[in-house]
Amino acid sequence: MSQDLLLQRIEARLKATGLSERKACLKAGLKVDAIRTIRRGNHPRASTLRALAGVLGVSASYLLDASDDGPIPAQANGARATSVADGPMVPIVELDVRAGAGGGALNSEELEAGHWQLPGDLVRSVTTAPTTALKILTVYGDSMEPEFRPGQRVMVDTSDQMPSPPGVFVAWDGLATVIKRVEFVPHSDPPKIRFTSDNPRYQPYERTLEEAHIRGRVIGRWTWT
């Protein structure tokens, strides 16, 4: 597919869904300038286009397959666009954050450790986020015990990166990818966020927004019996 046609299809779906480029990228779990990068002539990865397709309400093949020149799917009679979460099972990517390089981004193919298939009804009962924005991570370390134990899997909504209200987030704190309770430090200048552990053995610490990058809110966890 030519870059021009790819951009035309992305722009048409942005208009149809009412999403801005920035919001679409965040919902897809991508960097905020992912679409702008395509505009600059850089050919995107297949994984990037698959993530965008899920948010834009079209099949991945519509963006990826040059032979698919059919019309852009429309929402007939005011019905909402069908997404992967409308099926009986939905795929969720599991990541291994220990494989990540500096920056702690959660949208890198090098982090993929596998895929889960979860009931669509279960996923919809806890979140309205696009399934492409949902990731499963393993808890490492004991800093969040007893609430989160080493080896537990958690589900993270990478489209929710704002600690307002405060909550449990996955973040890059400047040294590593961590799971912590995160909140803004009131009246801080420059703006800071505070990382707090549930385990009292670990002291709270603060980072400026330039040093710390929130990657997503933890919305669920698995407890094995």
The pLDDT value recorded for residue 225 is: 54
Domain borders along the chain are 3-73, 85-221
- pTM, two decimal places: 0.59
Q: In this prediction, what percent of the chain has a pLDDT beyond 90? A: 16
Whether the per-residue pLDDT at 72 is higher than 90: the answer is no
- Residue 46 has φ and ψ, to the nearest 5°, of -60, -35
Residue keyed to tokens 């020149």: 69
Is the model's pLDDT at 76 over the cut of 50? no
Say if strands 134-138 and 89-95 run parallel, antiparallel, or are unpaired.
parallel
The tens digit of pLDDT for each residue in 93-142 reads 888 876 444 455 666 555 677 778 888 777 887 888 888 888 999 888 89
Distance CA 218, CA 197 (A): 14
Q: Regarding the domain with residue range 3-73, which homologous superfamily does it belong to in the CATH classification?
A: lambda repressor-like DNA-binding domains (1.10.260.40)
pLDDT at 83: 41
Q: Is 182 helix (H, G, I), strand (E, B) or coil?
A: strand
Residue by residue, DSSP assigns 14-79 as HHHHT--HHHHHHHTTS-TTHHHHHHTTPPPPHHHHHHHHHHHTS-HHHHH-TT--PPPP--GGGP
Mean per-residue pLDDT of the chain: 77
User: Which of residues 177 and 186 earns the better pLDDT score?
Assistant: 186
- Please, which pLDDT band fits residue 64 given cuts at 50, 70 and 90? low
CATH of domain 85-221: 2.10.109.10
